[in-house]
Amino acid sequence: MPGRVRKQSSPTMTDVAKHAGVAPMTVSRALQDDPRVLPATRAKVLASVEALGYRLNEVARSLRAGQSSDLLGLVVTNLANPFYSQLALGVDSLAAEHGMKLVLGNTGEDPGREKELVDDLVSRRVSGIIVVPAGSDHAHLRPAVLDGTPVVLAARPPSGADLDCVLVDDFGGSLAATSLLTAAGHRRIGFLGPSPNLWTSAERFRGFSTALAESGLAVDERHVRFGLRDISAAERAAAELLQLPDPPTALFTANNRNTIGAIRAITGTRPGTALAGFDDFELADMLGVSLTVVAYDPAEVGVQAARLLIDRISHPDDDTPPQRTVVPTTLTHYGQPLQPAPSQT
């Protein structure tokens, strides 16, 4: 019965050795292109490998090696978000360059799940881990607690632990975008964003506030709305702001969900309102509205994080203190030029 599928355990090096009439060690050497093996012997071995359909068992190999396993761990909060999938792609591209593969985990912003995933990765002896941390205390990510496994944080900075991280210039981007609004003469500018407990959100608000301060303006609490997680929440909040007796003439939104919600509200209630927001997004140019966005390259965050991590892996005895890399942002404008503020008395 030729062609029957072999359901038994795979052939081992010993099987190959027997088949080729050599010692297992010789097989090992032949497969590693050890120059000391005679070409003839190597050929015999390779023929047997072929004949038996042998493949090296990486598990055994990496047990032997004791150390890493050519695997990088990547723990993100929400793969469905294009930001994180782009980030994953960036990490993967650099990992691939170094012959490493990615083990992926999704936390859904659950710190408990994060700890589980990270622990599991350490147990699997991955060489290092990139984490988009979910909680606000990162003590459980200290390499010391993780058998020395190097960790790099992405998108959010460490707190309660001193770790390498790669961030987006949340503050600078928000500052620049908001400054554009103040420069256009706007003096009542609203802010819409997700929970201020998210570090990125807090930073973006800080950039916003700083821009106002630089123009001698104070943040008007009535024009600030936090905790807006999805488009419809943002839309409702924006509509509320725009219906105040003395409504903002411009809005700054802290992420693309909020930007989109704001666009809906503006289109529906006060079309003249100027708008700037964090995050670029597809089709922004086709919505027929005037909009400035803070753009950046999510994949670059992954690339930088992977670079930092691979550095740490390659130089385990390097005691340089934790690094903080910041990925820059740029401003992009879509549609009609920015609306100047209506002149006031």
CB of 246 closer than 8 Å to CB of 220: no
Choose the one of DNA, a second copy, none that binds residue 41, judging by a C-beta under 5 to 8 angstroms depending on kind.
Answer: DNA
C-alpha 211/C-alpha 177 separation (Å) is 9
C-alpha 161/C-alpha 138 separation (Å) is 6
61 binds DNA (CB under 7 A): yes
Choose the one of a second copy, DNA, none that binds residue 159, judging by a C-beta under 5 to 8 angstroms depending on kind.
Answer: none
Q: Cβ neighbours of residue 321 under 8 Å, at least 6 residues apart?
A: 162
Of 1, 33, 147, 216, the one binding a second copy by CB under 8 A? 147
- Whole-angstrom CA distances from 179 to 51, 58, 213, 238, 279 are 70, 55, 10, 20, 16
Q: Which is nearer to DNA, 125 or 324 (CB)?
A: 125
Q: What mask of x and - would describe binding to DNA in positions 63 to 102, judged by CB under 7 A?
A: xxxx------------------------------------
Choose the one of DNA, a second copy, none that binds residue 24, judging by a C-beta under 5 to 8 angstroms depending on kind.
Answer: DNA
Q: Which is nearer to DNA, 4 or 36 (CB)?
A: 36
Q: Is 325 helix (H, G, I), strand (E, B) or coil?
A: strand
Q: Which is nearer to DNA, 50 or 137 (CB)?
A: 50
**Inter-helix orientation angle 199-214/170-183, to 10°:** 30
251, β-bridge pairs: 190, 275
Of 15, 28, 41, 56, the one binding a second copy by CB under 8 A? 56
92 binds a second copy (CB under 8 A): yes
Which amino acid is it at 285? D
Q: Which is nearer to a second copy, 246 or 317 (CB)?
A: 317
172, β-bridge pairs: none
Choose the one of DNA, a second copy, none that binds residue 23, judging by a C-beta under 5 to 8 angstroms depending on kind.
Answer: DNA
41 binds DNA (CB under 7 A): yes
How does DSSP assign 96-112, residue by residue?
HHTT-EEEEEE-TT-HH
C-alpha 156/C-alpha 154 separation (Å) is 6
Q: Which is nearer to DNA, 16 or 338 (CB)?
A: 16
131, β-bridge pairs: 75, 153
Choose the one of a second copy, DNA, none that binds residue 337, judging by a C-beta under 5 to 8 angstroms depending on kind.
Answer: none
Q: Which is nearer to DNA, 42 or 204 (CB)?
A: 42
C-alpha 18/C-alpha 151 separation (Å) is 44
Residues that bind a second copy (CB under 8 A): 3, 5-7, 9-10, 53, 55-60, 62-63, 66, 69, 71, 74, 79-80, 82, 84-86, 88-89, 92-93, 96, 101-106, 117, 119-125, 143-145, 147-148, 260, 263-264, 281-283, 286-288, 299, 316-317
